[in-house]
Chains A and B, each alone.
Chain A
Amino acid sequence: MKGWKQDILAILILAVVIHFIALWAIPRLVEGMVEKGMLAKERCKLNAICCRDINVAGIDEIPMANPDSLFSHLVYDVSKEPLRIHLTVPDTGMYWSFSLYARNLDNYYVLNDRRLKSEYGSREMEIVLVGPKSHYKKTLANEVMVVSPSNRGTGLIRMIIADRYSAEGIEEIRELKKAQELSYTE
């Protein structure tokens, strides 16, 4: 009887431990897969902004992706040095945003075109992304320092297309992809 109770106790303790480890691990595992998928794209590498093709059925890896948004992505690692990100908002009048996600997929930073224009009075800006233990000091007056809660993470630039299904929309996507090369990292 005593052995049977010990077995049940061991099962329960193990179950609780597994429960919380899995709960902690799920976002990190998913983030790892997202990173891997992003870096697997042609001409995409660590610490560089990479423009994707617009999503279509069969290649929409992210569940419930927005079909009307053109994405550029970034996988960063700021453990060794800060990452300087130069952002340029296209002049389409549609929603644009730059968002950053920590290793646990928390969206810790987002900047959209309207906020950029109202707060910084510009369509362009410099972000210096630093790690949680960085001692980086601002060097340029117009740069914005963002502290990542984790050394690794991901970033997304979203650009809404007014009508991706029209000829004008297809042309706009082509132009935006070209213009997106103006956003870069150093």
Chain B
Amino acid sequence: MKRVFKYIGKGLLIIIVGFALGLGSLVASIYIQERGPWGKVRNGPWETSLHTGSTEAGPYTRAKVALFGTLALDPSEVGYYITFNDSKGQPLDCRCNYRMEGKDLSARWWSVTVYKDFHFIPNDQKRYSYSKTNVSRDKDGRWIVKLSLKPQEGNWIPLGDGEGKLILALRLYNPDPSVIEGLDSIDLPDIIREGCR
């Protein structure tokens, strides 16, 4: 009887360790694959993938897109850039104020959106984004979007007062061919930290 329990215990241990190793290695593979050179393109603090939403996506990209970019479109239809960092490479922090600066992007339509933990940040203004068709520009066509807890003049997206991982997303709908050819070199908005609480 004691021997039976010993075998059952050993079997359970093998199953638990096997599951943990299998799932752990999968999470690590998705992370390493996305951090590595396989299909990932960097442009300043921004990152994009050549295969997001594509039928050519590898199984690891497909799994990651399923989890964090569900129902994305192919890059030729929409270019998606995201960043977790500012232009100096520091992680975006909800307790800080930021200034995002840029000019019109070469696409039929573009937008910048702020997320916390991959979802919109609740705010009284119900403001989560600015786009080609509603951002205010200066006389040279450049725009500034401010991100902060407290209200600011001009284009402002509230960051809310809760904790969480801050993410910026840039979408380029029907991007010009020059964008597809220069994903790593086109001009993208700068993200400048302007002080923290």
- CB-based contact A156/B59 at 8 Å: no
Who on chain B is nearest to A109 by CB?
A: B55
- CB-based contact B68/A63 at 8 Å: yes
* A-side contacts of B82, CB under 8 Å: 64
- Bitwise, B114-150 to A at CB < 8 A (1) or not (0) is 0100111111011111010110000000000000000
Interface of A (DSSP majority class) = mixed
- CB-based contact B71/A154 at 8 Å: yes
Interface check A120, CB cutoff 8 A: no
| Separation of A104 and B58 alpha carbons in the complex (Å) | 12
For the complex formed, measure the closest distance between the CB of B45 and the CB atoms of chain A, giving whole angstroms.
17
For the complex formed, measure the closest distance between the CB of B58 and the CB atoms of chain A, giving whole angstroms.
10
Q: Which of B11-19, B87-95, B180-188 contacts A (4 or more CB under 8 A)?
A: B11-19
- Bitwise, B47-85 to A at CB < 8 A (1) or not (0) is 000000111010110110111111111100100001000
Who on chain B is nearest to A17 by CB?
A: B22
* A-side contacts of B129, CB under 8 Å: 67-68
Q: A18-B23, A66-B113 are in contact. Are A105 and B174 (CB under 8 A)?
A: no
**CB contact list, B160-184 vs A, under 8 A:** 167, 169, 171, 173-174
- CB-based contact B71/A64 at 8 Å: no
- Bitwise, A7-18 to B at CB < 8 A (1) or not (0) is 100111111111
- CB-based contact A57/B77 at 8 Å: no
Q: A26-B67, A67-B128 are in contact. Are A11 and B113 (CB under 8 A)?
A: no
Q: How many residues of B contact A (CB 8 A)?
A: 56
| Separation of A67 and B127 alpha carbons in the complex (Å) | 9
| Separation of A106 and B62 alpha carbons in the complex (Å) | 8
* B-side contacts of A55, CB under 8 Å: 120
* A-side contacts of B68, CB under 8 Å: 63-64
- CB-based contact B26/A30 at 8 Å: no
Given A30-B67, A64-B69, A97-B77, 19 further pairs, Cβ under 8 A: A10-B14, A15-B17, A18-B26, A26-B67, A31-B66, A56-B126, A57-B122, A57-B128, A58-B122, A63-B118, A63-B119, A95-B174, A99-B77, A105-B62, A106-B57, A107-B72, A110-B74, A114-B174, A162-B133
Please provide the 7 A-B residue pairs with the shortest distance between their CB atoms, ordered closest to farther.
A18-B22, A14-B18, A15-B21, A57-B120, A63-B118, A163-B134, A57-B122
- Chain B contact residues, CB within 8 Å of chain A: 10, 14-15, 17-19, 21-23, 25-26, 29, 53-55, 57, 59-60, 62-63, 65-74, 77, 82, 108-109, 111, 113, 115, 118-123, 125-129, 131, 133-134, 167, 169, 171, 173-174
